Chains A and B, each alone.
Chain A
Amino acid sequence: MSPLVSMRKRIAFLFLCVSAFLVVLIVRLAVVQLGQGQELAKKAAETHFRGVPVAPKRGNIEDRQGNVLATSVSSETVYAIPAEVRQSGRTAEIAQKLSQVLGKSVDEITQRITKRSALEYVQKRVSPEVAQTVRALNLPGVGITEDSQRYYPNGPLASHIIGFAGIDSQGLEGIELTRDSELKGTPGSVEVEFSANGTELPEANRLYFAPKSGNTVRLTIDKNIQAFAERELQKLMSGQGENMNGQSPKTASILVMDPRTGEMLALATLPSFDPNHYQDFDQATRRNIAIQNGYEPGSTFKIVTLAAALEEKKIKPEEHYFDRGFYTVLGKNVRCWKAGGHGDQTFVQVAENSCNPGFVEMGQRLGIDAFYKYLRDFGFGQKTGIEMSGEALGILANKKRATALDLATMSIGQTNNVTAIQLLSAVAAVANGGTLLKPQLVKEIVSPSGKVVVPFKKEAVRRVISESTSKLEREILEAVVTNGTGRRAFLPGYRVAGKTGTAQKVANGAYIQGDYVASFAAFAPADNPKLAILAVIDGVPFYGGAVAAPVVQAVMLDSLKYLGLKPSLDAPLTPSKPLPGLEFPPVKKAATVPSVLGLPLAQAEKSLTQAGFKVMTEGTGVNVVDQIPHGDATVEAGSTVLLYLGQEAGISALGPWWEEEDEDIEAIKALQGRIPISAVQG
């Protein structure tokens, strides 16, 4: 065979080899480009695209009727892409120009726009004009993106519950914090193609991924009932509280619950803050004292003692008890508030009279074990689980060391430390037929399209007392308001049940004399309770019932009317035993107090009298140096305005304005030398 012929065959073989490889190549290209193309294109896009985040609209917080309590309005943010800024080589010029527009120092801006990060916010929440100016400057690596800003249309209303969100729309306190994950939504982005060295591509593709708005959180709070409560608190704080004689308490809270479901209709605390400017308020102001602080409940706690004694059948309502005016336990006398005692009474009358020895008797009959069982069952010493951060546990006296004397003082609400929300939950359990419910603040979660995502679910903690005990105690507590010490909360035509209380305040591990916590717990209508209210007023020089009951009365009346509850025909129209001097004011009329500061006394008196106010003076002097209420305050027409006439004026003349008789004060006085439980255990 000639070499050329054999060569041809072998060359043909070579050609075959090459062709075979080229076929393999084409198959491989088909696999990569056609088979895996989509997947690889996605991967490539991931490396090429870089996102500028677009903040989602944070969900609203609404009250139970759908009134907006917190919403988000869009604002604009100036951002920089440091890699692009550096690439442009005009860093100094960019910083200079931005500094002029944004009013920040050149150094600060330079530092931000050259930071080693993919994206840097230069200034958040700029005005539309500033945003427009920045856009017009058209600086390389600098852009504007939409951001959202939190707005609270009602200002301080329900601020302790709502809380607030920070500059990045992140929840910081209150529901804004606890429901942050529901509210915040999912951020979207504008994706822009970048080169490997971090600069935007010429004619880069831009993709917009829409952010997903957050859900709406609908609270159990009713804006109107909350407003009733806050109005009463404002009145107290501005020194217009009934029987406060122009004094302002330190803090006060009013809690309104639907005892049937555990829904909080109002949870008001003063002092409060404006969440729109939360930075301007200190931590103490933002504290939700109704949940985060404990106090000694005083006589309001007798509701629990009574419930336990009735449930355990240690007493019968018609059983007689003789009050000698004191009850001696372990050599100490627990005194009744009424000098000489109430004498012979039934246990219903013991409750009506808030008779201390009678309640001590109930406690002693129950014994330490049973009493503690009810303390635990009613939820004291434990968190209620209400949706607020920093809920206090309250402090119970150590059961192992508890003596009969401790039992006696605990029976009348002294010694133990409870939170307002614990006490209200316990009262609601007594009112609703005997089931302790978890107090709740969130009614439902609603998606942006208006669909209810998470509906309200009542959460029963446990049954504490029987239906019949509950019914019995409702009647007894109604009698307390109708016939007894709770008469200041009486509402003609409505069946109100309730109990007053006064407790001594604690500071630096000791009880403070002459500084009290006044409270009133009530529910209505007594036969089928729809509202349970607790007012706690801290820092009053006066006794509980006189200060707290009218506050609850006002909130109760407005709320019952607002909820459309008609006066009941079988409800009494007058209390059976009116307290001396207790009047039911006619229809209240509001009037504005004229300012008389600096005026001579005669002129001031004339001006106030003409406006229909009564005048009282304090101190000696020619001109008015101060007045309470202050000018422009809106108060009840015909109320008294106190004028201060000189520096030496004090509050010494306040004495006669309150009643000496308070159910708790005598007990407190008799038990001096006690050490507060918070000082022992805390």
Chain B
Amino acid sequence: MLRGRRPDMILLGAILALLGIGVVMVYSSSAVKGYIQFDDPYHFLKAEIIWVALGLTAMLLSFRLDVQFLRRWAKPALYLAIVLLLLVKVPGIGRKVNGADRWIGLGPLSVQPSEVIKLAMVLVMAHIMALKPQQIQFFRQGLLPVLALLGLVAGLIMLQPDLGTTLAIAGTTFFMLIAAGARVGHLVALGGSGLALVVAAIAAAPYRMRRIFAFLDPWADPSGKGYQTIQALLALGPGRLFGLGLGQSRQKFLYLPENHTDFIFAMIGEELGFIGATLVVLLFFLVAWRGFRTAMSAPDVFSGLLAVGITSLVSIQAMINMGVVSGVLPVTGITLPFLSYGGTSLVFTMLAVGMLLNISAQVRRG
């Protein structure tokens, strides 16, 4: 690529393949909705293409940026993200979607600050953990600042509330702590208390509680709490081995809500079958493999932790999303990286993988 640097081509290939599948499936899934809501079956496809173009631009941009430059701008980026996060609560700027304040309007554009903060957190966490790599083994000097920051940001996000993003950030931070060399005892305690927090968060909000039970037995309340899980299963099941064929989804006819965003994996399973769904899983496996491989052979600790963070962020979101769709995890609003319909999520994911590709281009080959 530029300046003769070559990124990990397998990683790039997997990303572009996922992106390609995403564009096709977003169109196939959203045509009905676009036709009914906007009289235009191409409505969402057009927007998606713009978002993909923005995303590719973001990827190229971050691929070219110096990693040390990124490190310098990590903290300011986090401050900016926190400000944005607070802005969603400001009337007139924040927009309410599905009962949560997740968006801020910038003219015709909507930005999801939670997407911004995910990347900012990865950068800052990599920065902090890379300052004095040995310190992470100590609770007060190493672990506590990380946990304090995580607690603050997680608290802000839960104001929206947005459990999916909180889980993604917490999970990513946990993965980075593992990679950074935190003590096993600390990690076990942390994992335990994290799990306790999740349980507490779920128990505190009745709607999450209901969602949990719904996922365990969706058929108990097929038109209410179990609706989304059931509709996802009713998309995946009929797909069988080879799928109903591209564009042949039945569930997209307004049976499955959010079918072009959070539930696009169900559409893939319905139209492309077990083979298509498994292919997507394998592409994420490739991303994880090449991403973690990049991290292992990164030139410095910061780059390595950054690569771990980005790979973990993408992988964890993919796992939660596909887990939700296939009914092994309770319904949590989280997008499927590269595949879900556009928006801030796609642009920032592309920005992140641009950095990952950048690091992969610097690995010592041999």
Interface residues in chain A, defined as those with a beta carbon under 8 Å from any beta carbon in chain B: 3-4, 6-8, 10-15, 18-19, 21-22, 24-26, 28-30, 32-34, 36-41, 43-45, 47-48, 193-197, 201
Contacts and interface: CB of A to CB of B under 8 A. Distances in A.
Given A14-B175, A14-B308, A34 B240 contact: yes
Interface string B307-343: 0100010010001001100111000000000000000
A12 B274 CA distance: 28
A47 B240 CA distance: 18
B179 A37 contact: no
Nearest to B308: A11
B55 interface: no
B255 interface: yes
Interface string B242-253: 000000001101
Given A22-B319, A33-B269, 8 more contacts: A19-B288, A25-B328, A28-B328, A33-B241, A37-B238, A40-B237, A40-B238, A41-B240
11 contacts: A3-B133, A3-B181, A7-B181, A13-B178, A25-B281, A25-B319, A33-B241, A34-B274, A37-B238, A44-B234, A47-B234
A28 B274 contact: no
Interface stretch (B3-11, B147-155, B289-297): B289-297
List 3 A-B pairs, minimum CB-CB distance, nearest first: A40-B237, A195-B253, A196-B254
Nearest to B294: A11
A19 B293 CA distance: 13
A33 B296 contact: no
Contacts of B281: 22, 25-26, 29
Contact of A22 (B181, B234, B285, B295): B285
A37 B239 contact: yes
Contact of A197 (B179, B235, B254, B288): B254
Contacts of B178: 10, 13-14
Contact of A28 (B179, B239, B326): B326
B14 interface: no
Given A13-B178, A196-B254, A30 B288 contact: no
B78 interface: no
Contact of A10 (B181, B239, B289): B181
Contacts of B277: 29, 33
A10 B233 CA distance: 36
A34 B269 CA distance: 11
Contacts of A30: 274
A193 B281 CA distance: 31
Contacts of B328: 24-25, 28
Contact of B236 (A24, A26, A40, A47): A40
A38 to B, nearest CB: 8
Nearest to B244: A41
A168 to B, nearest CB: 31
Interface in B98-134: 133-134
Given A22-B284, A28-B328, A41 B237 contact: yes
Given A18-B319, A24-B328, A44-B234, A33 B240 contact: yes
Choose among A19, A26, A193 the residue with the greatest number of B CB atoms under 10 Å from its CB: A26
Contact of B237 (A7, A15, A21, A43): A43
B301 interface: yes
A30 B178 CA distance: 32
Contacts of B238: 37, 40-41, 44-45
Contacts of A19: 285, 288-289
A4 B295 CA distance: 10
B212 interface: no
A15 B289 CA distance: 7
Contacts of B181: 3, 6-7, 10
Contacts of A197: 36, 254
Interface in B217-263: 233-241, 250-251, 253-255
Contacts of B312: 14
Tell me whether chain A's interface is mostly helix, strand or loop, or mixed. Answer: helix
A138 B292 CA distance: 61
B21 interface: no
Contact of A48 (B32, B237, B255, B301): B255
Interface of B: 32, 36, 133-134, 175, 178-181, 233-241, 250-251, 253-255, 269, 273-274, 277-278, 281-282, 284-285, 288-289, 292, 295-296, 301, 304, 308, 312, 315, 319, 322-323, 326-328
A201 B292 contact: no
Q: Which of A18, A34, A36, A193 gathers the greatest number of chain B CB atoms within 10 Å? A: A18
B32 A34 contact: no
B255 A195 contact: yes
A281 B282 CA distance: 77
A44 B251 CA distance: 8
Given A22-B319, A40-B234, A44-B237, A14 B250 contact: no
B29 to A, nearest CB: 14
Nearest to B322: A25
A4 B240 contact: no
Contacts of B251: 44
Nearest to B236: A32
Contacts of B289: 15, 19
A14 B284 CA distance: 14
B327 A26 contact: no
Contact of A47 (B255, B288, B327): B255
A214 B308 CA distance: 71
A27 to B, nearest CB: 10
Nearest to A198: B254
Given A25-B281, A32-B327, A201-B250, A7 B234 contact: no
B32 A15 contact: no
B323 A25 contact: yes
A196 B251 CA distance: 9
A182 to B, nearest CB: 37
Contacts of A8: 296
Contacts of B250: 44, 48, 193, 201
B134 A7 contact: no
Given A4-B304, A44-B238, A47-B255, A11 B274 contact: no
Nearest to B136: A3
Contacts of A47: 234, 255
A48 B315 CA distance: 34
A33 B323 CA distance: 14
B226 to A, nearest CB: 13
A37 B326 CA distance: 13
Contacts of A26: 278, 281
A147 B327 CA distance: 45
Contacts of A38: 240
Contacts of A10: 178-179, 181
A38 B269 CA distance: 14
Contacts of B234: 40, 43-44, 47
Contacts of A21: 319, 323
Given A7-B179, A7-B301, A11-B179, A34 B253 contact: no
A12 B288 CA distance: 11
Contacts of B326: 25, 28-29, 32
With a 10 A CB-CB cut-off, give which of A12, A14, A22, A45 has the most chain B CB atoms.
Answer: A14
Contacts of B253: 48, 193-196, 201
B237 A39 contact: yes
Contacts of A37: 237-241
Given A22-B281, A25-B326, A32-B326, A195 B301 contact: no
Contacts of B175: 14
Contacts of B319: 18, 21-22, 25
Q: Which of A38, A48, A193, A201 has its CB near the most chain B CB atoms (within 10 A)?
A: A48
B241 A34 contact: yes
B66 to A, nearest CB: 21
